[in-house]
């Protein structure tokens, strides 16, 4: 089989490998699609993701495919099942697992980060992190279950989302678009999104039924909000997120900055407005809600999975030598249905 192996920092090589044999508790999956995200960019450049990727490793933590074989202890999957994998594997033994804060697991491992993922024709995963996908959800959509589930986790860890709350999404990338749909699905009525290009914002406003859009290259964010989701990760946007808050607001820091990055905020206002500023890290227990949202159509990412490429083109995208518009999805085997 073909495997796209990250062999070092900013280095990838297409290798011919044996199809892996699933262990007793594992499922062997023939990859249909794999998504590329900011985490892959970080890993490719030698930076940490949710965990460290040590080369040689096959990336591809966002993936979908069809079961090819199962280990002897696997009872809930069989050859031919359509599946997606929640990449994150919690140890179950550390303090944070014991208190239910799985995302902070001391021994986090992940498919496509610490063990080989979807950027190869076949990969394995423990049956505990494999999910059946319903017929109405395509394998292409299913490869975005992981990013959607990270947004769902943000919804899970917010307090008491209510229809009267207004929301600001900072950024208009793939995750920002997912957040627009999630906030709507969770009952928020008034949603504003910021971006940097009028034409894109106009299109997004229509596609996502946004109440307001703001081009921050030429206008100020006009109001304050009860919910602010920061989905860019720069000091400027993080500062703006905390600034544009109503009393009692929740600011969710989703955009990932560089590990040493800082920003400034008015701590008196945090006290006076009783703000919550919270990070949101990965996606424990979020795949079932993700499935429900995809199945109902409340979340529809198909218009945004715009950049479909082959395995051979992945390095160019990670190197930024190939221009990209929209979410990049690798069609490893698009003939799988
Ligand atoms: Zn991702
Ligand atoms: Zn743990």
Tokens of 55: 């080369």
Contact 32, 145 (CB under 8 A): no
2-144+305-331 topology per CATH: Quinone Oxidoreductase; Chain A, domain 1 (3.90.180)
Number of neighbours of residue 191 by Cβ within 10 angstroms: 24
Mean of pLDDT over the chain: 96
Residue 281 CA, ligand 2 centroid: distance in Å? 14
Neighbours of ion ligand 1 (CB under 5 A): 37, 39, 62
Class of domain 151-279: alpha beta
For the chain, give every residue range classified as CATH 3.40.50.720.
Answer: 151-279
Q: What is the pLDDT of residues 203-224, one digit of tens each?
A: 999 999 999 999 999 999 999 9
Residue 60 CA, ligand 1 centroid: distance in Å? 8
Question: Percent of the chain, pLDDT > 90?
Answer: 94
pLDDT, residue 113, reads 96
For the chain, give every residue range classified as CATH 3.90.180.10.
Answer: 2-144+305-331
Residue 98 CA, ligand 2 centroid: distance in Å? 7
Q: Is the peptide bond before 56 cis (omega within 30 degrees of 0)?
A: yes
Q: Which of 280-284, 291-295, 316-320 has the lowest mean pLDDT?
A: 316-320
Neighbours of ion ligand 2 (CB under 5 A): 90-91, 94, 97, 105
Residue 335 CA, ligand 1 centroid: distance in Å? 23
Ligand nearest to the CA of 42: 1
The whole-model pTM stands at 0.97
pLDDT, residue 290, reads 98
Number of neighbours of residue 262 by Cβ within 10 angstroms: 8
Q: What is the pLDDT of residues 71-123, one digit of tens each?
A: 999 999 999 999 999 999 999 999 999 999 999 999 999 999 999 999 999 99
């Amino acid at each position: 089989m073909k495997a796209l192996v990250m062999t070092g920092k900013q280095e990838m090589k297409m290798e011919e490998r044996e199809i892996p044999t699933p262990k007793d508790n594992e499922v062997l999956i023939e990859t249909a699609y794999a998504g590329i995200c900011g985490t892959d960019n970080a890993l490719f450049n030698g930076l940490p993701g949710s965990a460290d990727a040590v080369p040689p490793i096959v990336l591809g933590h966002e993936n979908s495919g069809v079961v090819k074989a199962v280990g002897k202890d696997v009872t809930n999957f069989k050859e031919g099942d359509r599946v997606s994998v929640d990449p994150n594997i919690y140890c179950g033994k550390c303090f944070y697992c014991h208190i239910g804060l799985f995302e902070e697991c001391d021994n986090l491992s992940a498919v496509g980060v610490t063990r080989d993922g979807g950027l190869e024709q076949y990969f394995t995963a423990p049956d505990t992190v494999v999910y059946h996908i319903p017929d109405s959800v395509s394998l292409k959509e299913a490869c975005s279950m992981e990013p959607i589930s990270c947004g769902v986790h943000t919804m899970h860890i917010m307090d008491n989302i209510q229809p009267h709350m207004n929301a600001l999404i900072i950024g208009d990338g793939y995750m920002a678009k997912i957040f627009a749909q999630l906030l709507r699905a969770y009952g928020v009525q008034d949603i504003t999104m910021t971006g940097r290009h009028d034409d894109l914002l106009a299109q997004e406003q229509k596609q996502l039924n946004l109440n307001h859009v703001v081009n921050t290259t030429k206008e100020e964010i006009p109001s304050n909000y009860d919910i602010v989701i920061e989905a860019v990760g720069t000091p400027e946007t993080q500062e703006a997120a905390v600034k544009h808050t109503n009393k009692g607001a929740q600011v969710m820091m989703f955009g990932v900055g560089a590990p040493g990055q800082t920003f400034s905020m008015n701590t008196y206002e945090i006290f006076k407005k009783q703000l919550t500023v919270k990070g949101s890290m990965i996606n424990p227990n979020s795949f079932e809600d993700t499935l429900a949202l995809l199945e109902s159509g409340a979340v529809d990412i198909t218009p945004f999975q715009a950049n479909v490429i082959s395995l051979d083109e992945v390095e160019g995208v990670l190197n930024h030598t190939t221009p990209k518009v929209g979410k990049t999805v690798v069609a490893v085997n698009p003939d799988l249905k």
